[in-house]
Amino acid sequence: MLLTDGEDLYNIVLNAPIGICILNADTLVAEIVNEKFLEVAGKPYDAIFGKFYWDAFAEARTHYESALAGVILSGEPYYANEVELMLIRHGEEEIVFVTFVYAPIKDKLGQVIKVAVWVLENTKQVAEKKEQEAEKLTFKKERDRLERYFMQAPVGICILQGPELIYELTNTAYDHMLLDRKLLGRPIFEALPELVDSPIQQMLLKTYYDGTPCEMNDVLIPVSAFEGGPTKDRYFSFSFQARRDENDVIDGVVNIVFEVTGLIQIQQELLDAREYSEQQKRVYETITSNTPDLMYVFDLNCRFTYANSALLSMWGKTWENAIGKSLLENGYEPWHAEMHEREIATITKTRQSIRGEVSFPHASLGRRIYDYILIPVLNQDGEVEAVAGTTRDITERKVWEDTLAQSAEKLQAINEELEASNEEQAASNEELSAINEELEQLNKELLEAKQKIEEGEVALRLAVSAANFGTWFLHSVTREFITDTRLKQLFGYFPEKQLSFENALAQVREDYRDYVSAKLEYAIYHNGNYDVTFPVIGYHDQELRWLRCIGNLKADTSGTFSTFTGVVMDITEQHLAANNVEQAEEGLRLAIESGELAIWYLDQKLGTIIASPRFNEMFGLRSDENVPFDAVIAQILPEYRQMVEDAVAATFATGANFNVEYAVTGFHDGKLRWVRSVGKYVQNTKNGNYIAGVMADITEQKTDDIRKSDFIGMVSHELKTPLTSLNAYLQLLQQKLKSSNEKFAINALDQSVKQVRKMTTMINGFLNISRLESGKIHIDLQHFDIAELAAETVAETKLMVTTHNIILKPIAPTFVNADRDKIGQVINNLISNAVKYSKPDTLIEVSCITDGQEMCVSVTDEGIGIRAEDINQLFERYYRVESTKYISGFGIGLYLCAEIIKRHEGRIWVESEPEKGSTFYFSLPIVKSTTLDTD
């Protein structure tokens, strides 16, 4: 039955859980618009339906008009995933993120007649109720076009057929949600048994039997990754819509579904984070709510991230309208706000605390005078991440000090009067008595102020304890030393033990003891701040700790003595981490110096290379000379120059590691050196990408390799002449013994000839390697049929090898321009290799195929195979697989094959698995007109 009823299509579009708009391909007029689309667009129905699409969305026209036109012209859909888009929604500009598809709808002749715009807003995942109901339009479409239409959708769609609800169609998105399930042709409750006896089963059956459409959002469904496996909680939004045949009888159900598990998890994580934040807020409020002092925290943008109840009360604000605001926004006068902003910037730069006094209006008490201290809050890397502050109201104390000063002036005036006139003594005594009464009252007020200060100090100690600081008080004259339990713990003392200043200083590590003492004395005698970092050895636990001690000298009004107060914090972890970094850098420096390596950095602009003096030395430059990239390239021998430039370009283009060997000529000394340079690509969005590397002088190693190759070539050449003579004599003996009955002698001669041929092949290999490495090998190009060469080589091998079944697959005539002898040598080496590493009576298959531009020869065996870790090194000189050391050979055959193919501008590679055999391939261009000659 064909699904051609336009009413069905209309209902499916209107009930889809994502936005859909159907456009006329000729006029781009909107013919169908569902409520989800209106919700994403933020526009009324009349502004889109029946209107030219780009009139409704003029703000997006410049970005996507060409894409929509391309869909109509090409017939191919256009996908945009989570793009940022500015839309005018509800009359206002709004930035939204959407995923949408322009999907073509074609007629029977393949012409695009309509375009479906599928859109899913990623900014809000919970759909709102639509405000208007779309008008119904009619059109017919065949089922095959509807299926293609569904397959392009970015959400899962399936069609379930018949009363058993058998999977008739699933699109790509639906299959992706159930990757390891076989669906098509199976009833849904057989393919997904997790749905049996669930509300989804009831809704699905209800839709099929009475045609009721169903829609559900954010539904929890336990689904297993594979059939029969353990289930995992996943969340889906979906709709069920009955499908009807031409007689309006229900024959199936259309299901549209998309997974929202990730969104649900994100929502839960946000709830957990909010709950944790509220919990931390309650903890901090509990710690600081009982102190009259004002306590607060700034971020590095000078915005409040915390304020205790006392500070909020002073402002006359609540947490919600104060936190996250700047100083000006919380009522600070401009001069006051600028002063604190400068102090915060200074603390961020120096990591030193700042203390001062300031006048500031109180919400209910008027202008008050405050003493404040700002302290840096450091992260685990020792960097300032916030600034914490404590402020104390000292208005009463200031008033008392002013009153006391005024009283002193009055007493001075009275004394002068007493000296001038004794006869006024009686009257003056009465006045003095009154003044004394006033002083007594002032002393009483002073005691009350002192009590308030002491109460504030108790609250401050509670706050310091919550921050896990140790506190101390030191009399600058008597050296009386008062500490809390935490400070004793940091110096390795038990809480009940007395800790004197001398005892504390004795626990400072000896190399820092004089330094700490001198800093303290300087602060005392210069009325300054004290901030010093030092190590201590615990008195009882003998544990090494690194401490940071911060203090401030405060003189009383008489100036006869001063009290030194401060805090101590444990910074052991940060200090040891910094030391580890320094030690690692020192170890790297020693490794580079002992290996006589050079260090270099090259930015992507290919400007001046930043390098160590050793780098300059290798290129024959003075240590103080700049090293432009062009100057370095100029010192490389011409035959290696392009290789180095290509390697640099490849590293910047792909991020591949840089690893090359090449020869250079010293700029000043003219000395020839061989170097190996190794580098790694480093991305740096701030300062530009660059390659960082090291370079080693391998001149001596290269010289040894050249001597070794010359020696092998000389010895191989000297051995070749006697072997040729020996082979000739053996063949003469074979001819003379043909009519003889001496079977033993005949067999012995046959074996001797084989061994001589093996030796000749081996010596020819060494000679070819010597020529390759000295650059003297000659490639003699000929125009020949590779199929004929393969047949000749297989035939010759069969005469020598009777232990294996060697088969040549039929090969069409394929002509190439190459060195016929050397390509024959490659084929022979590959077949010989297959014989060597496979058991007798197994199959060896030789074939050749073409793809228009090149031909490819392959040799397949049923041998022992090759491990993956050996494949990349298989074509290196003298490399032998560890598991085949019992098989004779020098590891030069495949290396020689690779070099020959390389000089023909071809490719060689292998595909293999252990115990499953191997296939060696090499390819050559079919048409080649230039001559290759490396002489």
Decide if pLDDT at 875 tops 90. Answer: no
Decide if pLDDT at 308 tops 70. Answer: yes
Same fold, 155-259 and 468-577: yes
Decide if pLDDT at 262 tops 90. Answer: no
Amino acid 359 reads S
Average pLDDT over residues 183-207: 90
The per-residue DSSP string of 876-931 comes to STT---GGGTTS---S-HHHHHHHHHHHTT-EEEEEE-TTS-EEEEEEEES---SP
Bridge partners of 371, per DSSP, are 357, 392
Confidence of residue 504 (pLDDT cuts 50, 70, 90): confident
Helices (H), 303-424: 309-315, 334-350, 395-420
Assigned CATH class of 777-925: alpha beta
Residue 227 confidence (pLDDT): 81
Average pLDDT over residues 301-327: 89
**CATH of segment(s) 155-259:** 3.30.450.20
Kindly report which listed range (506-520, 633-647, 717-731) carries the lowest average pLDDT score.
Answer: 717-731
Residue 632 confidence (pLDDT): 87
Confidence of residue 32 (pLDDT cuts 50, 70, 90): very high
CA–CA dist 744, 746 (Å, integer): 5
CA–CA dist 124, 95 (Å, integer): 12
Decide if pLDDT at 425 tops 80. Answer: no
Residue 841 confidence (pLDDT): 92
CA–CA dist 816, 906 (Å, integer): 12
774 against 26, higher pLDDT: 26
* Backbone Cα Rg of the chain: 45
Task: Report the half-sphere exposure of 891 (CA within 13 A, side-chain side).
Answer: 14
Confidence of residue 1 (pLDDT cuts 50, 70, 90): very low
Neighbours of 915 (CB within 10 A): 9
Does the CA dihedral 436-441-443-446 come out positive or negative?
negative
Sheet holding 481-483, edge to edge: 481-483, 470-475, 562-570, 544-555, 529-537
Decide if pLDDT at 282 tops 80. Answer: no
Amino acid 216 reads M
Three-class DSSP labels, 94-129:
EEEEEEEEEEEEECCCCCEEEEEEEEEECCCCCCCC
Confidence of residue 409 (pLDDT cuts 50, 70, 90): confident
Residue 50 confidence (pLDDT): 93
865: left (phi over 0), alpha (psi -120 to 50) or beta: left
Decide if pLDDT at 284 tops 80. Answer: no
Residue 135 confidence (pLDDT): 41
Task: Report the half-sphere exposure of 724 (CA within 13 A, side-chain side).
Answer: 8
Kindly report which listed range (719-733, 778-792, 851-865) carries the lowest average pLDDT score.
Answer: 719-733
762 against 482, higher pLDDT: 482
Kindly provide the b/e burial profile for residues 841-863, where b requires at least 16 CB atoms within 10 angstroms of the residue's own CB: eeebbbbbeeeeebbbbbbbbbb
Q: How far is CA 436 from the centre of its chain?
A: 77
Residue 245 confidence (pLDDT): 84
Domain boundaries, given as residue ranges, for the chain:
7-140, 155-259, 290-393, 405-446, 468-577, 595-697, 703-758, 777-925
Angle (nearest 5°) at CA 785 between 783 and 788? 140
Does the CA dihedral 754-760-765-768 come out positive or negative?
negative
Three-class DSSP labels, 724-738:
HHHHHHHHHHHHHCC
Residue 462 confidence (pLDDT): 58
723 against 117, higher pLDDT: 117
Decide if pLDDT at 908 tops 90. Answer: yes
Residue 886 confidence (pLDDT): 38
Residue 137 confidence (pLDDT): 44
Average pLDDT over residues 105-115: 92
Do the Cβ atoms of 237 and 258 come closer than 8 Å? yes
Q: What is the pTM of this model?
A: 0.33
Do the Cβ atoms of 262 and 236 come closer than 8 Å? no
Place of tokens 């190794």: 678
Residue 574 confidence (pLDDT): 81
Neighbours of 828 (CB within 10 A): 18
614 against 771, higher pLDDT: 614
Based on DSSP, count helices (H) and strands (E) in the chain, helices before strands: 26, 33
Angle (nearest 5°) at CA 126 between 123 and 131? 100
**CA nearest to 19, candidates 154, 188, 197:** 154
Report long-range pairs for 836-843 (Cβ below 8 Å, ≥24 apart). Answer: 836/887, 836/889, 837/861, 837/863, 837/864, 837/884, 837/887, 837/918, 838/804, 838/862, 838/863, 838/864, 838/917, 839/863, 840/803, 840/804, 841/803, 841/804, 841/805, 842/804, 842/805, 843/804, 843/805, 843/807
| 468-577 classified as CATH 3.30.450.20 | yes
Burial label for 451, CB within 10 Å (0-12, 13-18, 19+), is exposed
**CA nearest to 115, candidates 36, 21, 38, 3:** 21
Do the Cβ atoms of 507 and 491 come closer than 8 Å? yes
**CA nearest to 761, candidates 839, 903, 769:** 769
**Structure letter (DSSP) for residue 421:** -
Residue-wise pLDDT tens digits, 337-350? 999 999 999 999 99
Helix (H) or strand (E) holding 217: strand 214-224
Do the Cβ atoms of 355 and 552 come closer than 8 Å? yes
Residue-wise pLDDT tens digits, 822-846? 899 899 889 988 998 899 999 999 9
CA–CA dist 709, 772 (Å, integer): 10
CA–CA dist 101, 81 (Å, integer): 9
Kindly report which listed range (128-132, 185-189, 244-248, 663-667) carries the lowest average pLDDT score.
Answer: 128-132
Average pLDDT over residues 699-727: 66
CA–CA dist 291, 460 (Å, integer): 7
Burial label for 738, CB within 10 Å (0-12, 13-18, 19+), is exposed
Largest CA distance in the chain: 170
Bridge partners of 566, per DSSP, are 472, 551
417 against 109, higher pLDDT: 109
Residue 405 confidence (pLDDT): 73
Residue-wise pLDDT tens digits, 793-828? 999 888 888 899 999 998 889 999 999 988 998 998
Residue 934 confidence (pLDDT): 44
CA–CA dist 460, 565 (Å, integer): 12
Decide if pLDDT at 3 tops 50. Answer: no
CA–CA dist 159, 165 (Å, integer): 9
115 against 725, higher pLDDT: 115
- The CATH superfamily assigned to 290-393 is PAS domain (3.30.450.20)
Could you list the beta-strand ranges (E) of 645-789: 658-665, 672-682, 690-697, 782-785
CA–CA dist 512, 11 (Å, integer): 83
- The CATH superfamily assigned to 7-140 is PAS domain (3.30.450.20)
pLDDT over 70 percentage in the chain: 78
Considering the segment(s) 595-697 as one domain, its CATH architecture is 2-Layer Sandwich (3.30)
48 against 128, higher pLDDT: 48
**CA nearest to 847, candidates 920, 930, 749:** 920
53: tokens are 């699409």
| 420 contact partners, CB below 8 Å, separation of at least 6 | none
CA–CA dist 523, 533 (Å, integer): 15
Greatest mean pLDDT among 404-413, 477-486, 649-658, 745-754 lies in 649-658
Angle (nearest 5°) at CA 467 between 463 and 473? 65
Confidence of residue 768 (pLDDT cuts 50, 70, 90): low
CA–CA dist 518, 507 (Å, integer): 16
Helix (H) or strand (E) holding 809: none
Average pLDDT over residues 169-197: 88
Mean pLDDT, all residues of the chain: 81
CA–CA dist 530, 522 (Å, integer): 9
Question: In 3-state terms, the chain is what percent helix, strand and coil (to 5)?
Answer: 45, 30, 30
- Pairing relation of β-strands 805-808 and 843-850? parallel
Amino acid 602 reads L
For 2, 10, 114, 216, 439, the CA distances from 141, given in Å and listed in that order, are 9, 11, 11, 28, 104
Do the Cβ atoms of 336 and 328 come closer than 8 Å? no
Amino acid 789 reads L
CA–CA dist 537, 226 (Å, integer): 60
Do the Cβ atoms of 740 and 746 come closer than 8 Å? yes
Decide if pLDDT at 578 tops 90. Answer: no
Kindly report which listed range (165-169, 250-254, 528-532) carries the lowest average pLDDT score.
Answer: 528-532
Sheet holding 250-259, edge to edge: 166-170, 156-161, 250-259, 231-244, 214-224
382 against 708, higher pLDDT: 382
Residue-wise pLDDT tens digits, 449-464? 666 666 656 655 555 5
